[in-house]
Each structure stands twice: as C-alpha cells, then as structure tokens.
Amino acid sequence: MEPKVMRAMLLEKQREPLKLAAVPIPEPSEGQVLLRVSTCGVCRTDLHILDGDLAEPKLPLILGHQVVGTVAGLEAGVSRFSLGQRIGVPWLGYTDSTCRYCLRGQENLCDNLKCTGYTLDGGFAEYAVADERFCFPLPPVYTDIEVAPLLCAGLIGYRTYRMAGEHVERLGIYGFGAAGHIIAQLANFEGKRVFAFTRPGDVETQSFARHLGAYWAGGSDESPPELPDAALVLAPVGALMVTALKAVAKGGVVVSGGIHMTDIPSFPYHLLWEERTIRSVANLTRQDGEEFLKIAPQVPVRTAVTSYRLEDANLALEDLRSGKLDGAAVLTI
Ligand SMILES: [Zn+2]
Ligand SMILES: [Zn+2]
C-alpha cells in the first residue's frame, strides 16, 4: 500500500511558528508531477511570508520554493520528466502564458502568477505537486543539499545580477548571504571585481566573502577602494539602497533582489544624478532558470549550506533571521 498521508510543516496563521502535521499527500492534476521531496531550501521570502510582510498567502500553507525531489507520480499530459528523475521546483509555479506580460517575454510579471510556497503549497513536506512546465532538471554534479539554494538564491540572484548590466567591471554586493555568496562566484568567473558589503563589524562574513573570491570585503559603512559600477542589494534593508546609491560610480545601477524591504529613506537628487538608476527585480522567468542552471556547474558555483531536519524548520528560519548562517539553510526531508 502506498502511503496516503505525509509529514509537513504547516503555516496555519501568519506570525505563528510552523506546526508539524500529518496531511494528505497531494494528488497531481493534469500536467503536474508528484515529487518525493528530498531537500528544500529556506529563503528570506519564507520569513517575509511567515512575518506577514507579504499579504494573503494560501492558508494553511506549506512554505518552501527551492524544492528538490524525485518524480514519484505523473498525471496525464506530463511529457518532460520520467518516474524517478530528479527535478527542482522554483518560486515561479504557474503563469497563464496569455497576458500581455507573458506575451512580451516577462512571465515573471504575469497577471495571474502563482508562486510555490506562497500561493501554491511548497516543499517543507515529504511530497509536493508541481506544474511540469515550471520545473527544472538539475545538474548532476550537485548533491540534493547543495543544489537546493540554487533554485531561488541562485535563480533570483542571477536575474538581479543580470539587471546590473553587461558593462559592469566592479560589482558591489550588499548583504552577503545565500544569494550573495552564489552570485559572487559567478561574477568572479565572468571577470568582475566583487566588493562585498556586510553588516558593520561582521568580520566572519567578510572573510567568507574573500574566501569566495571577493576583491574587497568590508562593512556597509565603509568605503571601498574603488567605486562599484553597479550594486546588488540582497538584504531587506531599505537604507542600503541609499548607501549603495552613494557608493556607485556615474551611470551606476542599484538593484534590489528581494521581494520586500523596509522603507527606503528619502535622499537628495544629486545621489541619483549622472544617470544612476535604482530598480527592483521581481520573481524569475524560466529562461533565467535555464541559463543559470547551465552556467552554475561551469563556474563551478559551490554552495555553503547548513542543513536542518524538516521538523526543525522554525529553527532554520530563526537562524536565517538572526544572520547566524554563512551561506544558505536547507531542510533535509
Ligand atoms: Zn526565495
Ligand atoms: Zn501571464
């Protein structure tokens, strides 16, 4: 007999800890696969959903949008994957393919977007279902634990990095966590000089950044020896947008990679003068995913991971909140 119920960490109400529960194993509908989840990355966005910074999640909800597992069931219409194949499920869980954004190649802005672990159930559970069109085959060189953070920290980090533009020689990274440590390696590989900015005084993360090839690492209150051409803000702190704007060279762009941040303080126009830009990045496209998962093993991007058991998901979230982690948190299921 196949099991009918599974263990999952359930979000029943925002601002309350997740609860371990036994829930029915989801059944795939047309075009969907059923995954036996093996690992799932923990992302700052999970904290934003938990804390109520992001409104109106599906409730009760299974969080987690960096889902790694093997195909355990297929519904009619599934043609890309076979039983037993290892695949990954990212944040982008569904688009309608027909709205004006989808039609012009910006499916990340789809009017009817559904997101894994937010408006769809995610991977903090033994099983998950996903629309096969949005799943990715995963590079075989990575273990299930290593590959999980590539699915959001990697993919959305990659989109953020690409938004910095092609002509960037010196790249500032504010917030050197899961996404920062992945993107620094890619930027290095592409011949860019990385300037890593951490919380003031966080010498441990600064040495971690240098170890991963950063040209310079220091506190966000310090001035680097050269002005970055672009800066990625990967911490949810609005004031860093202004700090980064002050630091970038003429024509520089400051890109926020997160889905939520604290308010951005007002700033004098001269900081934006000389064609500086501030912008955000929302979600990802499938093309971002395909490009990044192709280039990551070539670098090769290595992920620093702290793993937790499924039932310790609350602990993983708290460690992420307090900044205790170098790299990424991953649940093993
Ligand atoms: Zn994420
Ligand atoms: Zn659409």
Residue pLDDT, tens place only, 248-282: 999 999 999 999 999 999 999 999 999 999 999 99
Asked if the model's pLDDT at residue 52 lies above 60, the reply is yes
The pLDDT value given to residue 76: 87
- Rounded CA-CA distance 244/172 in Å is 8
DSSP 164-194: T-TT-SEEEEES-SHHHHHHHHHHHHTTPEE
What pLDDT shows up at residue 310?
Answer: 98
User: How many whole angstroms from 175 Cα to the centroid of ligand 1?
Assistant: 15
Q: How far does the centroid of ligand 2 lie from the alpha carbon of residue 256, in Å?
A: 23
Distance 280 CA to ligand 2 centre (A): 19
Distance CA 183, CA 238 (A): 20
Q: What is the per-residue pLDDT for 166?
A: 87
| pLDDT tens, residue by residue, 20-29 | 999 999 999 9
Checking if the pLDDT of 323 tops 90, the result is no
CB of 306 closer than 8 Å to CB of 328: yes
Predicted local distance difference test score (pLDDT) of residue 2: 64
How far, in Å, CA of 19 to CA of 97, rounded?
A: 35
Asked if the model's pLDDT at residue 288 lies above 70, the reply is yes
Ligand 1 centre and the CA of 118: distance in Å? 10
The ligand minimizing its distance to the Cα of 105 is 2
Query: Mean of the pLDDT values across residues 146-174?
Result: 96
Q: Which ligand is nearest to the CA of 104?
A: 2
CA pair distance 310, 112, nearest whole angstrom:
30
| pLDDT above 90 for 3 | no
Task: Confirm if 306 and 319 have CB atoms less than 8 A apart.
Answer: yes
* Contact yes or no for 62/6 (Cβ under 8 A): no
Q: How far is the CA of 283 from the centre of ligand 1 (A)?
A: 9
Rounded (5°) CA angle 175-275-209: 20
- Position 21 scores a pLDDT of 98
Distance 24 CA to ligand 1 centre (A): 25
pLDDT-based confidence at residue 244 (cuts at 50, 70, 90): very high
Ligand nearest to the CA of 234: 1
Torsion (CA) 270, 273, 276, 281 in degrees, nearest 10: 70
Residue 102 is predicted with a pLDDT of 98
pLDDT at 125: 98
**Closest-lying ligand to the alpha carbon of 98?**
2
pLDDT digits (tens, 9 = 90+) for 93-109: 999 999 999 999 999 99
**Which ligand minimizes its atom distance to the CA of 47?**
1
User: Ligand 2 mean position to 105 CA, how many Å?
Assistant: 9
Å from CA of 321 to ligand 1 middle: 14
In which band, very low, low, confident or very high, does the pLDDT at 326 lie, cut at 50, 70 and 90?
A: confident
User: Is the per-residue pLDDT at 1 higher than 60?
Assistant: no
**For residue 322, what are the contacts with CB-CB under 8 A and spacing of at least 6?**
none
Q: What is the mean pLDDT of the chain?
A: 96
Which ranges of 27-151 does DSSP label H, i.e. alpha helix?
44-51, 100-103, 144-147
Ligand nearest to the CA of 148: 1
Residue 125 Cα to ligand 2 middle (Å): 28
Q: b/e for 136-174, b at 16 or more Cβ within 10 A?
A: bebbeebebbbbbbbbbbbbbbbbbbebbeeebebbbbb
Q: Which ligand is nearest to the CA of 66?
A: 1
Question: 250 CA to middle of ligand 1, Å?
Answer: 31
DSSP 117-135: TTTB--SSBSEEEEEGGG-
Q: Tell me, in angstroms, the distance from the centre of ligand 2 to residue 117's CA.
A: 19
Residue 307 tokens, joined:
């793993």
If you measure from the C-alpha of residue 157 to the centroid of ligand 1, how many angstroms do you get, rounded to a whole number?
A: 9
Ligand 2 centre to CA of 100 (Å) is: 7
For residues 234-243, average pLDDT: 97
Give the model confidence (pLDDT) of 117-128 as tens digits. Answer: 999 999 999 999
Instruction: Report how far ligand 2's centroid is from the alpha carbon of 113 (Å).
Output: 7
Nearest to 231 by CA among 164, 152, 179, 158: 164
Distances (CA, A) of 236 to 53, 136, 174, 254, 278: 11, 27, 10, 14, 15
Task: Decide: pTM greater than 0.85.
Answer: yes
For residue 179, which ligand has an atom nearest its CA? 1
**In the predicted structure, residue 154 carries a pLDDT above the cut 90:** yes
Asked if residue 284 has pLDDT above 70, the reply is yes
